[in-house]
Structure 1
Amino acid sequence: MKKKNYTQKKIRIIGGFLKKKLLQVKGSFNNRPTTNKKRETLFEWLQIKIKDSNCLDCFAGTGALGIEAVSRGANKVLLLENNKIVVSYIYKNILNVPNISVIKTDTLKWLKKKGNSYDIIFLDPPFQQNLLQKTIFLLEENNWTKSDTIIYIEKSKKYNFINIPKSWMLIKSTKSKNNEYFLYMKK
């Protein structure tokens, strides 16, 4: 079995009471954190909705989106991540950060149960896997969304677009060289 090549990465929180907090992240070639520029754009989009919101980050990776959400006023954030090494780094980064929790789990298995809805959901799964469409289906099927839930999607341009539920309205989008970013609201 081939051993994964992990490299040390550093990411900073860019806004709120944790601004400039340095996150220690151990990542592999599959770990591609949302850039500071795109996180800034995302949280500009969310500025009206983030205060006192309950957020779910389905593929937490570095945890930066969830930590940024708490830093900017989210009430509670739940991070789901499958990689135990990455989870150990998330735990180190959320020490003394209020209202944030992490579960080491397979997101698809976790979303198969009936859930409580969230105000904001972050979907930034590994690009090389076909997880986005399955995740969207489970979010809708098992009541993880409600009217006015905001759903952020980050995906690679090289993968075909996904089927978005008719009850989700596109409110913002942008592109970079390789990726696409979308913000939807459930009607």
Structure 2
Amino acid sequence: MRIIGGKYRGLKLAELGAGDADAHLRPTSDRVREAIFNLLINGSHGADLDGARVLDLFAGTGALGLEALSRGAAHCTFVDDGAAARALMRANIEKTHTMGCTRVFRRDATKLGDNRGPGFSLVFLDPPYGKGMGEAALASALAGGWIAPDARIMWEEASPQLAPEGFELLDQRRYGETHVTLLRRKKAP
């Protein structure tokens, strides 16, 4: 895995190795990551990454959040409850020298609790496929004040996802076995 674009373009990220069989790490492939960022940056409903605050739920290796930082995001908070994932994230944060603009939380993404800072303008959601955890995490993030009004949510899953209440569907794409759903949080009336 490598960073695809931006100031860290070409940087090789930490190898998964044998890993932890219980960690269920399934990093987003370089090809899908490139397609996601093309959709975000060049799509008609895209997001401005310059200065963005990013929340990477079920962060795994941290590749999505680090890609956003490489392309101009100001901050990324990574959330994952797996020890193997957090070790890989920390190694990748060190490789990119982004310690000053990142936070790593050991937390269940479906039970985030209250956010004590400003909301995030871009959320990556890459839960274990087919377990209903993505919708639970999105509901938890919304209830806890983690998601800023008009934020974009990039949701990876094994099947296309419907927009939950409070969100609107902007785009959906399929890349092999991965379905990517782009949502926007609706502004309060």
Note whether the superposition's TM-score is higher than 0.5: yes
Q: For this pair of structures, how many residues does the alignment match?
A: 173
2:6 pairs with one of 16, 19, 43: 16
5+ long unaligned stretches in structure 1: 1-10
Tell me which moved more, 112-121 or 22-31: 22-31
Determine the structure 1 residue equivalent to 2:142: 140
Instruction: State the one-letter code of the partner of 2:180.
Output: Y
Distance 1:161 1:68 in 2: 23
Deviation of the 1:130 alpha carbon: 2.7
| Residue pairs, 1:10-89, within 5 angstroms | 11-26=1-16, 27-28=19-20, 30-47=24-41, 48-89=47-88
Distance 1:82 1:117 in 2: 21
TM-score by length of 2: 0.83
SS across alignment from 1:184: strand
SS across alignment from 2:7: helix
Distance 1:153 1:52 in 2: 21
SS across alignment from 1:174: strand
Deviation of the 1:37 alpha carbon: 1.6
Instruction: State the one-letter code of the partner of 1:23.
Output: L
TM-score by length of 1: 0.84
SS across alignment from 1:146: strand
* Contact 1:133/1:163, CA 8 A, preserved across alignment: no
Determine the structure 2 residue equivalent to 1:181: 180
CA RMSD of aligned residues (A): 1.9
SS across alignment from 1:152: strand
SS across alignment from 1:153: strand
